[in-house]
Structure 1
């Protein structure tokens, strides 16, 4: 097994980053999935046209991440039927890009 990290880079309308960060402050279901190791929300400093966040999740291996994504796709399909979705023009997120990385080296604090 090789650990992997999924990084979803979100481009956000200037000044609305805190609103998006707030969505991640309370752990939702991802932390309950088998193989989930860690989630981090990183805010990029000194951006000009738009703000940027990276939502990073670390998994024991690719198969666990794939299982989580499948469950998310199913969940989103059911949510599409709900009327309480945010209007697209009011959505602070301009776009996103998902990148996946194999964790090759990790160092932990010496004990």
Structure 2
């Protein structure tokens, strides 16, 4: 599955990483990650140098699935009480939309594969 608007999603992710880096400036693993990404990705370096800080709590993400095509999913991120380091993310398609139909189709494929074989007369 790929993001339909990869450039925008990449900028959002780097902005969120910058937010985390500001909250944890002495985290050696985070410093190492930023260093590795900077060394290997010109796109990351440019986004990191822009100094955008971003936390997205809700919105719409557009994905392209290889079997069902484009999906537009609404999402919300919820902070967990008592632990600001963790969050719960939910995704859903608008009722009656082509994305809802595509998700139902994908779910039915997964259900078919997980269903036990019917046992009939032998």
Q: Which has the higher strand share?
A: 1
Higher relative helix content: 2
TM norm structure 1: 0.27
Give the alignment's TM-score, normalised by structure 2. 0.26
Structure with larger Rg:
2
